[in-house]
Chains A and B, each alone.
Chain A
Amino acid sequence: MIVEAGAFALILALGLSIVQVALSVAGRLRRSAALAGAGEGAALAAFIAVATAFAALMHAFVVSDFSVANVAANSHTEKPLLYRVAGTWGSHEGSMLLWCLALTGFGAAAAGLGRTLPRGIRSMTVATQGVLGSVFLAYTVFASNPLLRVIAPPVEGRSLNPLLQDPALAVHPPFLYAGYVGMSVVFSLAVAALIEGRIDAAWSRWVRPWALAAWSLLTVGITLGAFWAYYELGWGGWWFWDPVENASFMPWLIATALLHSAVVTEKRGALAGWTVFLALAAFTFSMLGAFLVRSGVLTSVHAFAVDPTRGVLLLIILGVTSGLAFTLFAWRAPSLAQGGLFAPISRESALVLNNILLAAATMTVLLGTLYPLIREAMTGESISVGPPFFSLTFVPFMAALLVLVPAGPLLAWKRGDARGVVQRLWVAVLIAAGVALLTVALVSPRKALGAVGVGLGGWLVAGAVTEIVERTRAFRVPAAETWRRMTGLPRGAWGMTLAHLGLGVFVMGAVFETAWKVEAAEALQQGGALNIGAYHVTLDGVRPVAGPNYDADQATMTVTRDGRPICQVKPERRLYTAGGQTTSEVGICYRGASHIYLVLGERRDGGAATAWLVRAYWNPWASLIFLGPVIMALGGLVSLSDRRLRMGVGRRREQPA
């Protein structure tokens, strides 16, 4: 009954989204506030309807209602509650519903919070959001309905892929989807602005919080995914340049570029066309990601199972929505007002350069991701593009960008003073050089490129601190004055500093881990040991343990250094009874920011005694890789709480609709 109610609510949501479009467009054409208001009401109603459908599906998962096909295929009664809940979005159909939930949710939020926007832009934004909602809801209802029943319900479900039964992965999709789909609001705002032919500072001030929110969520989502890959796959790595990873990374890169260009449009009125272009591109890349992951056109370690029909449908959705939006852009963009002029050395120029480099980096990722498809279509040969390609193409652009990051915020708008910037940054230059030299001196084996990379991270961190020091005139005025200035700084400034600081922390961790990680693998008998870096790992023993829905071999390993015990970890090798799959639970021994990462592999009988394959990694500074993006996302949140962005909310209270 609940499931039928959910299925009905889903269809109702589709209807409401279509009504939302019709009412909003009619409201715009007749300049009727009542009709436009009704359109906004429909947006809210559509969200409530999708939420109802989502709740119904979640309920079916929680109570293990195997008469629902999707539940039967992805759940199991023995599964812990958290993973039964997470199973709601663990499959193609369920995750599509989550996508729709986020889409209508952002639509409702945009409709509800948009009171300060000019009427026309507001109506057209709600209408565009309604179009996107209708298209994706139609796809969900007709091609990928998660609430379909089966005629003969099985007694037991087929369970969720055990690799996905993990706390980080349970919350990874909601963040990622909220980030992906958050770009839809920016997309809708851009379309609305193009239709209205108006881009002004008010519009970009409106774009920024949405882009910031989506960017922060996407940052958290990607980080959770990388963290999951790190500790669940047991490969010792955190980023594989896998097509699916790239699919989530490209919208992030574009959103980053958008955040920076929107600042220019807001503050100086320049780059309006480019900002609109990026706003359209961000959601286009989100949809491209959805297509790549779901169509099975690319081989990836974590793509959804292949279904060509759905792939074609998603490709049509992508082609039509983005195609129309970009056609509109080509038609209307020339009429957008050209903004203020600026000198070659200025904050604007720095941000333009940031955008050029980010765009180039995104293009290389896109090329590397799609090249196997192009090649296969043209020559019929299957190929794969490996990580070396991305290291060679993506990394140089990013490195160039990172060198420029600390200078940007210190440049003045309109006409900057290059010499002044250099004067203010020389301490940061010294710190960066010191970090690099220390790395060369202290870390063995000596790696020049690694040291330069770590120095680059230090440069970013020092640059971010310099920026705050400069703004508060610390060390030059009394501490009380510095404090006063510090509390007086807009939250946006703090947010930017935090984000740049987080980037620096990430770069240091990523470079250090990549350059100096050590790997060892050996077949160990009980009591056997292997050396990894300066550490000595002993396999004390392996014993069977039983989990809620799996049986496992649990190893006890002791890590020592120079004979002193450091820690004891218990990596596991789990056999999930429902699907017959084995997974590895790694054991990680934390030493400061560094990890000793231990994996229990297969059991090998034969030989003198039973042995286990044990893999060990020394991942120095690995914690920074995940800490950095968290700081970046935090920066996004701080910036989001800026008074200038909240002002709209305050004014809304004064004039209730």
Chain B
Amino acid sequence: MSFLPKSRKARTRLLLFSVIAPVVVVAIGLALWGMRGSISLFYTPSQAAAAKPRPGQSIQLGGLVTTGSVVKHPDGLVEFNVQDRISADHVVFQGTLPDLFREGQGIVAEGTYRGDGVFVASRVLAKHDEKYMPKEVADALKKQGDWRGDGQAPASPGYGVGKGGPT
């Protein structure tokens, strides 16, 4: 095999390269492919109205649960509205709500829009912390000027921050 480099070191380097290069290529390929299928965009109701995700496209819908809108059916179906400052969307969800799901709280619902504009959630997320506001919801609301702070205000500076789970 005369086309191989003569020095042993160079040959090792070539071999190493010929192993690493495919691994890197496969990694990049898989990552790009994976990114297409498994990322979901985050919208608040008004952003969703503007962006018009097509029915069936998996997205995350975030906002505040409208006070008084939660209807829990005996069969486990839950209906509620998620709102931002401008608009609200009707959400239906079959399953168990997180323990911290409340009216007036920020939540993120994962799911898809139905043809009639109702959002069918497959998962509803709220965080462990009672002060929780999902970051996307907080950011989106801040942009709209509808930010009411972190729920319960801390009693003094440096007090009560950092509450949450250790890793």
Contacts and interface: CB of A to CB of B under 8 A. Distances in A.
A91 B15 contact: no
B30 interface: yes
A343 to B, nearest CB: 9
B1 interface: no
Nearest to A164: B165
B116 interface: no
A584 interface: yes
Contacts of B158: 69, 148
A92 B164 CA distance: 8
Interface in B22-43: 23-24, 26-27, 30-31, 33-35, 37-42
B146 interface: no
Contact of A158 (B135, B160, B165): B160
Contact of A304 (B8, B134, B165): B165
Interface stretch (A206-214, A357-365, A627-635): A357-365
Interface in A351-391: 352-353, 356-357, 360, 363-364, 367-368, 371, 375, 381-390
Interface in B129-167: 129-131, 134-136, 139-140, 155-156, 158-167
Nearest to B33: A392
B16 A352 contact: yes
Contacts of B23: 356-357, 360, 397
Given A150-B159, A371-B35, A521-B95, A581 B100 contact: yes
A613 B39 contact: no
A338 B10 CA distance: 13
Given A301-B127, A306-B135, A386-B39, A163 B74 contact: no
B19 A73 contact: no
Contacts of A560: none
Interface residues of A, number: 90
A580 B12 CA distance: 64
B162 A144 contact: yes
B128 interface: yes
B76 A613 contact: yes
A383 B42 contact: yes
Given A305-B129, A305-B131, A364-B30, A611 B74 contact: yes
A296 B150 CA distance: 14
B27 A360 contact: yes
B118 interface: no
A95 B34 CA distance: 35
A604 interface: yes
Which of B100, B130, B164 counts the most chain A CB atoms within 10 A? Answer: B164
Given A299-B134, A364-B27, A388-B38, A161 B159 contact: no
B74 A172 contact: no
Contacts of A164: 128, 165-166
A363 B125 CA distance: 27
B165 A384 contact: no
A465 B140 CA distance: 56
A396 interface: yes
Interface in A146-194: 148, 150-152, 154, 158, 161, 163-164, 169, 172-173, 176
B167 A305 contact: no
A353 B34 CA distance: 24
B8 A582 contact: no
Nearest to B160: A73
A357 B22 CA distance: 11
A303 interface: yes
Interface in B106-139: 125, 127-131, 134-136, 139
B38 A389 contact: yes
A48 interface: no
B81 interface: no
A74 interface: yes
A154 B155 contact: yes
A385 B39 contact: yes
Contacts of B75: 523, 607
A570 interface: no
A389 B166 contact: no
A367 B9 CA distance: 32
B76 A604 contact: yes
Contacts of A73: 159-163
Contacts of A608: 74
Contact of B156 (A151, A521, A607, A611): A151
A448 interface: no
A395 B163 CA distance: 34
Contact of B166 (A95, A234, A368): A95
Nearest to A519: B95
B134 to A, nearest CB: 6
B120 to A, nearest CB: 16
Nearest to A290: B167
Nearest to A382: B42
Which of B33, B73, B136 counts the most chain A CB atoms within 10 A? Answer: B136
A521 B34 CA distance: 30
Nearest to A241: B38
A234 B27 CA distance: 34
Given A73-B163, A163-B128, A385-B38, 16 more contacts: A73-B162, A92-B163, A150-B155, A158-B160, A176-B166, A299-B134, A301-B165, A302-B127, A304-B164, A307-B162, A341-B8, A382-B41, A382-B136, A396-B30, A523-B75, A606-B73
Sorted nearest first, the 8 A-B pairs with minimum C-beta distance are: A92-B162, A607-B74, A302-B165, A388-B38, A382-B42, A389-B38, A392-B34, A389-B34
27 contacts: A91-B164, A161-B164, A163-B128, A225-B167, A244-B165, A248-B167, A296-B135, A299-B135, A301-B165, A302-B128, A302-B167, A305-B164, A338-B9, A352-B16, A357-B23, A360-B23, A360-B27, A383-B40, A384-B39, A393-B30, A393-B34, A521-B76, A599-B96, A602-B96, A604-B73, A604-B74, A608-B74
Interface of A: 69, 72-74, 89-93, 95, 144, 148, 150-152, 154, 158, 161, 163-164, 169, 172-173, 176, 225, 234, 244, 247-248, 289, 293-294, 296, 298-299, 301-307, 338, 341-342, 344, 352-353, 356-357, 360, 363-364, 367-368, 371, 375, 381-390, 392-393, 396-397, 521-523, 579-584, 599, 601-602, 604, 606-608, 611, 613, 615
